Amino acid sequence: MQGVYFRQSTKAKATDLGITGEVKNKTDGTVHITATGAATKLNELVEWCWKGPDSAIVKNVKVEKIPLTIFADFNIVRHNKI
């Protein structure tokens, strides 16, 4: 869902947890998060994603392991081609 500050809220939560990565809206209306951090902190982020910010309606969360990507911090991708 877009328009509920999901990206901004995700960045705040990830930063609080010490997670690096990025979050972006996809053209199909979903939100895509790539995150790197301690397993326990990543699990906390996934649990948070099931609720999201107050106005969000989350229907599904898909988690997939990918090759490690190093990020300097956690960023919001403003424009994407996905």
Residue 17: φ, ψ to 5°: -85, -5
pTM of the model: 0.88
Residue 60 annotated to the active site: no
Cα–Cα dist 80/36, whole Å: 20
Note the pLDDT tens digit of each residue in 58-76. 999 999 999 999 999 999 9
User: Domains plus CATH for the chain?
Assistant: 6-71 (3.30.70.100)
Residue 43 annotated to the active site: no
Question: Which member of 7, 43, 60, 78 is catalytic?
Answer: 7
What local confidence, expressed as pLDDT, does residue 74 receive?
A: 98
